[in-house]
Amino acid sequence: MITDKSRAMPCWIYRKQLQEAAANSAPLSAAARRHVQSCACCGEEFALQSALTRRLVREAKQQAEEAPAFLASRVMAAARASRHSAPEPAFPAWPRLASFAGMAALGALALFLTLPKPPPLAPSPVALQPAMADEEIGPALTQWAAKINNPLQTEMERVASDARNAMQLLAHNFLPARPASAGEEGSQN
Amino acid sequence: MNLPMPIAFLPGQPAPGACATDSAVSDPAPLSGEELAVQAQGGCEEAFAALVSAYAGRIYNFLFQMTRNAHDAEDLAQETFVRAFRSIERYDPRYGFSTWLFTIAKRLAASHFRSSRRAITEEFEESHAPLDFSTPSSELEARDQASSLWDLARTLKRNQYEVLWLRYGESFSVEQTAQVMGATQIYVKVLLHRARGSLGKLLRKNGFDGGKFEL
């Protein structure tokens, strides 16, 4: 009959504590010790893990390899020889390079965000041109180059063209129809 | 054998370009590795020589366990101390000197494996014949031939073997092991748990129940 509270608790409550105690050769709490004594499964696992830890430590000492007697003098000779050479960086260079690159990218981004943006360009009407013959390409190119070389004049021509088109549209829609029949009637008379 | 141990060396305050121990002979209390490192930072070559004497054996043994090759371990141990000598100014005395030194050694061992692509060499003496884990079949054979727990541990993944050796072979704490491995303590705990679990499985498979690996 289970009378102790710790015995009634499921194993998973103690599992982490048992694992850490076995791995670090640490003492168990009273409750965990009672559980290990009452639970055969946890007791067996705890004994196995504890024995594994003890054996790892014990056999590590048996594995120890003696250093050669001349190692210390050899090391000091090499250290003295390296005194006048360039110092080695304690850390590899790439983290520093990466941090510099990251800072430069952040600076460029901040500069880009703080600079005033230029006003958006007005969309210019693009007329689809039919395919030109080879002999027409030369004059067309000359005309296009002239437009590029004189952008103000080109823009003024476009404004004037747009104004003419607007006036024609207004006249067509709102002005009364021209009395075209008057001339025709006069000629008939 | 693993915690910062006092080293038989005369104490004193570090002075740039000179060993403070030259004038302080009245107090025979040995200096720790951290104190000697501070003196070495001040230019005291004798202090660094004392550090070499104190830690050469441990560093060599650690590198030997990582490489299983005496010549590689010697070369890497020498390179470890040379690097430590050249960058001793960067050592922070708030942290353990052994941890700092093992960090250099561990990085050198890792780069050694990256460059040579071999964990075990052919020239090793027959008496210390390493286990060949280069192929799955040879790995199984090596596990069959393993005569000790650490032979079996060497068949685990490299980082699992390293964390086991640092924790139990060098008796570093979890925190120190994490510093040497350049990882978090959580990572080291997880790695230790997995390594121990894998080792337990191998033990059972290799005759833990009454076999040669009976604990």
- pLDDT > 60? residue B24: no
Residue B164 pLDDT: 94
Between CA B143 and CA B150, with CA B149 as vertex, the angle to 5 degrees is 90
CA pair distance B76, B81, nearest whole angstrom: 9
Residue A124 pLDDT: 58
CA pair distance B213, A55, nearest whole angstrom: 10
pLDDT level of residue B61 (50, 70, 90 thresholds): very high
Higher pLDDT, B189 or B129: B189
- Contact predicate B101/B91, CB 8 Å: no
- pLDDT > 70? residue B173: yes
- pLDDT > 70? residue B138: no
Residue A9 pLDDT: 62
- The two tokens of residue A96 are 């520093």
| Helices assigned H by DSSP within chain B | 33-41, 45-67, 70-86, 97-116, 136-145, 149-153, 158-164, 174-181, 185-205
CA pair distance B41, B65, nearest whole angstrom: 30
pLDDT level of residue A88 (50, 70, 90 thresholds): low
Tell me phi and psi for residue A4, to 5 degrees.
Answer: -80, 140
- pLDDT > 80? residue A87: no
CB-based contact B148 A89, cutoff 8 Å: no
- pLDDT > 90? residue B18: no
Residue B179 pLDDT: 92
Q: Which amino acid is at A84?
A: H
Residue A1 pLDDT: 43
- pLDDT > 90? residue B183: yes
- pLDDT > 80? residue B190: yes
Residue with tokens 């942290």: B95
- pLDDT > 60? residue A105: yes
**One-character DSSP codes across A66-105:** PPPTTHHHHHHHHHHHTTTSPPPPSS-HHHHHHHHHHHHH
Residue A8 pLDDT: 52
Give the distance, in angstroms, between the CA of residue B119 and the centroid of all CA atoms in the same chain. Answer: 16
CA distance to partner chain A, nearest, from residue B185 (Å): 13
pLDDT level of residue B94 (50, 70, 90 thresholds): confident
Residue A63 pLDDT: 86
Q: Which amino acid is at A14?
A: Y
| Burial letters B124-159, b for 16+ CB under 10 A, else e | beeeeebbebeeeeeeeebbeebeebbbbbbbbeeb
- The two tokens of residue B162 are 């390293």
CB-based contact A62 B60, cutoff 8 Å: no
Residue A15 pLDDT: 85
- A 32-51 → B contacts, CB under 8 A: 48-49, 51
Measured from the Cβ of residue A28, the count of other Cβ atoms closer than 10 Å reads 18
What three-state secondary structure class fits B31?
Answer: strand
- Contact predicate B77/B49, CB 8 Å: no
User: pLDDT tens-digit profile of A44-55?
Assistant: 888 888 988 998
Within an 8 Å CB–CB cutoff, is residue A182 touching chain B? Answer: no
User: pLDDT tens-digit profile of A120-151?
Assistant: 666 655 555 556 667 777 788 777 777 677 77
CA pair distance B145, B153, nearest whole angstrom: 13
Of the candidates B41, B47, B52, the one whose C-alpha atom is nearest the C-alpha of residue B22 is B47
Within an 8 Å CB–CB cutoff, is residue A63 touching chain B? Answer: yes
User: pLDDT tens-digit profile of A152-187?
Assistant: 887 888 899 999 999 999 988 888 776 655 444 444
Higher pLDDT, B34 or B187: B187
What three-state secondary structure class fits B14?
Answer: coil
CA pair distance B60, A70, nearest whole angstrom: 12
- pLDDT > 70? residue B193: yes
User: pLDDT tens-digit profile of B107-119?
Assistant: 999 988 887 765 4
- Contact predicate B1/B61, CB 8 Å: no
- Contact predicate B89/A83, CB 8 Å: no
Q: Which residues contact A151 (CB under 8 A, 6 or more apart)?
A: none
Residue A183 pLDDT: 47
CA distance to partner chain A, nearest, from residue B136 (Å): 25
User: Rounded mean pLDDT of chain A?
Assistant: 78
CB-based contact B77 A71, cutoff 8 Å: yes
Within an 8 Å CB–CB cutoff, is residue A60 touching chain B? Answer: yes
Residue with tokens 């030194």: B101
Of the candidates A25, A26, A30, A23, the one whose C-alpha atom is nearest the C-alpha of residue A7 is A30
